[in-house]
Amino acid sequence: MFYFNRAITGIDLGNSIIKVAFCNYRKNRPYVIKALKINLPQDYNINEDLDFCIESTKRSCKFAKIPLSNVAIVANDSWYNSFVIALPDMPKKDLEKALLYEIKRQSNIDLKDIIHDYYPNKKLNNQLEYYVFYADKPKIENILKKFKNHGINVKFIDVEEMTALALYKNIYADDKTIKCFFDFGYLDSKIIFTKEESLIFTRNISSGTKQIKDLLLNSSSQEDNILEILEFKGLNDPNIEEKLKDYLSEILYEIIRTINFFTATYKEPNPSNIIFSGGIFAIPGFFEYFCQNIQYPCILNNVLDLLDYKDEGIKKSGFMFNYAVGVALR
């Protein structure tokens, strides 16, 4: 894995919250100097409102005294495409040609307009498996230009799968078992399987915090302040639990179905645990629900509990900084 030799600010541009982590290494351990979250408007769209997002980040970081001269960001899913491919071991020059050929085969982008990266994941008999990510170069250059125009010097863009692996490789370095990570996002959620330094499989499911909010709003009368009840009582409120019971059961089914597919397809053992992350687990009763209804040991993953940090108050930031810290560690 590649690491920067000096302090770096990692930024995760989420669909509802921007997460910022200013990180360094101290005594060969990841060290979080500051962390910051910025709430976004409910009707926010990262592609349509990117200038607003960048300016909000700049103002908040300036107030928090977080430097923006050496920045890494997590790319939004809509900015890139990805695929997995197994190829014979070959010189780097030939590998580049093979990957570009496959990218061209899968997309309509002119090769001169393609920006790409890859990660050699694991050996498969006499072949190597690669995770390949590619994007429209003019589109990425325009995004970088927007950041620069606002005074944010982005040195590096990475994707969620790789930032997750960078983070989990560090904080669970001594765990050699299969690990399953479930990141409950705002618009969708991601299931990631890792083993030591390898990313084995990922899957997105179309379930997130927004769908939960919409479901509650559509099933409640105008008089109910249902979202306030959700925030303060969560699943401990019988009415909320009843309205979300079928939806949460479907998410559990998708997690178990994905684990069964993973073990059958990749001939790997069941994961030793499921590590949950996402801001929704700060809502009362949500993490307990998954613990009680899934047959795997559950861990609530707040990376700020697991890494070294400068300020005791950072812990209060919650369960949503995985990718911001991960992109800073890559």
CA 117 to chain centroid? 18
Within the chain, which residues score under 70 in pLDDT? 1-5, 173, 221-224, 309
Distances (CA, A) of 236 to 120, 227, 278, 281, 287: 45, 14, 19, 13, 11
> Candidates 3.40.50.300, 3.60.15.10, 1.10.10.60, 3.30.420.40; correct CATH number of 8-77+143-172+303-329?
3.30.420.40
Task: Name the residue ranges covered by the structural domains of the chain.
Answer: 8-77+143-172+303-329, 79-137, 178-300
Q: Read out DSSP for 39-105?
A: E--TT--TTTSHHHHHHHHHHHHHHHT---SSEEEEPPGGG-EEEEEEEE---HHHHHHHHHHHHHH
133 in Cβ contact with 99 (< 8 Å):
no
Q: What is the pLDDT of residue 2?
A: 41
CA distance 210 to 43: 11
Closest CA to 82 of 121, 138, 50: 121
**178-300 — its CATH code?**
3.30.420.40
Q: What is the pLDDT of residue 106?
A: 87
CA 224 to chain centroid? 33
Q: Token pair of 157, please?
A: 């863009």
Q: What is the pLDDT of residue 24?
A: 85
Q: What is the pLDDT of residue 4?
A: 52
The reply to whether domains 8-77+143-172+303-329 and 178-300 share a CATH topology is yes
Q: What is the pLDDT of residue 221?
A: 66
